[in-house]
Amino acid sequence: MITSFKRIIIAGWQHFVRNSSSSLATIFVILTMTLLVAVLFLVKGAAGFAINSLQEKVDISVYFNQDTSEEEIFRIKDEISGLREVKTVNYVSREEALSQFMARYKNNQVVLESLSEVGNPLLSSLSIRAIESGNYRNIVNFLANENYEDIINKVDYYEREAIINRIFNIINDINRFGLIGIAIIALFAVLITFNTIRLAIYDSRNEIGIMRLVGASNLFIHGPFLLQGAIAGFFAFSISILIVTVIAYFATPKIESVLSGFILFNYLGSNFITIFVVQLSLAIGLGVLGSVVAVRKYLRV
């Protein structure tokens, strides 16, 4: 059994080397697909970090009418805090709002002088931060209760909703087009592997005929061609891992300058096992799949 396995390995390698040009084409297509998967994974990681960062900064503010007492505001604050979608609720008084506004426009004398003339026009508010971006609509629906109509002046959710939705739409488009690209390249990989193995079978037709005459097993005849596809997949996987590592290393400073706190190379390292397993499975799987299709079609043993 061990001897037969060794012979299959040797024969598979010989087929791979003998059809070097076709083998290289197979490696290139599988490599393209595995790289696309890895890049999509890294882009998704960066996008996820950006979304989480945005969620930490984005909130909605509920502004109350000037005649609303602090007692009523704190009662509503307690009710909102009890919602499962809510992460934090902070109260901002009119005085605090004015102080923050003046600090923001401290260098604008026109604004400061106008404030001194009209007094404090700002309203008390609650700053609400949800656990997830999709929870804000539920919170707004809760605040739309008719019991709050005479108390709440404005909720600024709809002013910020467009930005949040736009970012999520971009991420969804990246994932959608990425999956379509992977599917198309995977199809090409299977077709090229199929043709590579078909040529190998044609070149080895005399050898295969002799093996049939001497009573060689199906495994011994099929094995080298299946192994040829697996070898192409393994080479594509090895090159892909190397390229992805180099790209992540050199791209890290540039990406960190845009997404402060996101270190691409560290992200790759922490998810390396996942990327390793996925790429290895895809690369060898595609190579073997193309071989299986070719063997079943052209080797009627």
Q: Which domains does the chain have, with CATH numbers?
A: 2-54+165-298 (no CATH), 66-150 (3.30.70.3040)
Average of per-residue pLDDT across 201-213: 63
CA 283/CA 35 separation, integer angstroms: 10
pLDDT of residue 187: 75
CB-CB contact of 279 with 34 (8 Å): yes
- CA 74-75-80 angle, to 5 degrees, is 90
User: pLDDT by residue (tens digit) across 110-164?
Assistant: 666 666 666 677 888 888 888 876 788 888 888 887 778 788 888 887 766 677 6
Owner of token pair 């799987």: 285
Q: How many helices (H) and strands (E) does the chain have?
A: 11, 4
Element spanning 87, H or E: strand 86-92
Would you state the pLDDT for residue 297?
Answer: 66
pLDDT in tens, 94-109: 888 888 877 777 777 7
Q: Is the pLDDT of residue 301 over 50?
A: no
Residues 186-200, mean pLDDT to the nearest whole number: 69
Report phi then psi at 92, rounded to 5: -120, 110
Helix, strand or coil for residue 178? helix
For residue range 68-93, list pLDDT tens digits in order.
Answer: 888 888 988 988 888 888 888 999 88
Q: Is the CB of residue 199 less than 8 Å from the CB of residue 298? A: no
**pLDDT value of residue 136:** 80
pLDDT digits (tens, 9 = 90+) for 232-274: 888 988 999 999 999 889 988 888 887 788 888 898 888 889 8
Tokens 């599917």 label which residue? 183
Listed in sequence order, the DSSP H helices in 58-106 are 70-81, 94-104
What percentage of the chain reaches a pLDDT higher than 70? 71
pLDDT of residue 2: 66
